[in-house]
Amino acid sequence: MISVLTLTYQRHHLLEEAIESFLRQDFTGESEMLIINDSSKVEYVFNHPNIRIVNVKERFTSIGKKLEFGFSQCKYNYIYRLDDDDLMLPWALSHTWNDTITHPGYEIYRSDGHYCFEHNKFKGIFNNVNTGNVYTKNYLSRIEIPESSFGEDYTMTFNNNAKIYQSPRGQKTMIYRWGMNTYHISAMGGKISESVRREWTDLIVKNIAKERNTSVEEGVLMLHPHFQEEYYQQIPV
């Protein structure tokens, strides 16, 4: 029984791909995808029994606060952290579940690397903070998630003496994506205030919409999950 937690803000075209990667899972157990959208301008809609979208009308003050809320809304004990611009491989949840069965008692489960894509092209297998991290609710209940949008994931994962199982399995569970003409919060650095970070994000969103000759997302928006490219075909097997 696994929850997939995905935070999103003003980029439904990437969110639709993240959802598509959830829909392609070969896991036969119970699972859900929980999406937290805190753009007050847009309400996302997608009807699926295993996908829940929470459209929050007030923007969170930080990614940390958004994570804290999202974790509290997840139904299941194991929570896979997937950003809206990243993707899961079809075996992500089944491999994760197998790890929890064969290596019980850990607080965090993760692969020892992820497939890195730049501008949607495969670049190699790398390791950073999130390689498809899965947190248990018991672990989350004993730590304090930093009220920050920079470094909060590192602190949450590595600064609380967590008992971590890192899978050496050849098949990694997550595609980490960079570029794609979108904003990346981590690229903004840690020396700016949260209010400036939010303003910067909104400016990027507006500029991208202008470049695409579209408008900033507003109103009720029905999502249509799909891949823009066949990413899985680029993965070395």
Q: Of 19, 80, 71, which is closest to residue 45 (Cα–Cα)?
A: 19
Question: In the chain, what is the straight-line distance between the N-terminal and C-terminal CA atoms, in Å?
Answer: 27
Q: Is the pTM of this model over 0.85?
A: yes
Q: Cβ contacts of residue 25 below 8 Å, gap of 6+?
A: 31, 88, 90, 91, 92, 93, 94
Q: Supply the pLDDT for residue 167.
A: 97
pLDDT (tens digit per residue) in 88-135: 999 999 999 999 999 999 999 999 999 999 999 999 999 999 999 999
pLDDT of amino acid 42: 97
| Distance of alpha carbon 13 from alpha carbon 132, whole angstroms | 21
Residue 99 to residue 24: CA distance in whole angstroms: 20
Residue 219 has pLDDT above 80, yes or no: yes
How confident is the prediction for the chain on average, in pLDDT? 96
**Residue 234: predicted pLDDT:** 95
CATH placement of domain 2-228: 3.90.550.10
Question: What's the pLDDT at 60?
Answer: 97
Q: What is the pLDDT of residue 109?
A: 98
- Give pLDDT tens digits for 156-194: 999 999 999 999 999 999 999 999 999 998 889 888 999
Residue 191: per-residue pLDDT = 87
Report residue 11's pLDDT band, with 50, 70 and 90 as the boundaries.
Answer: very high
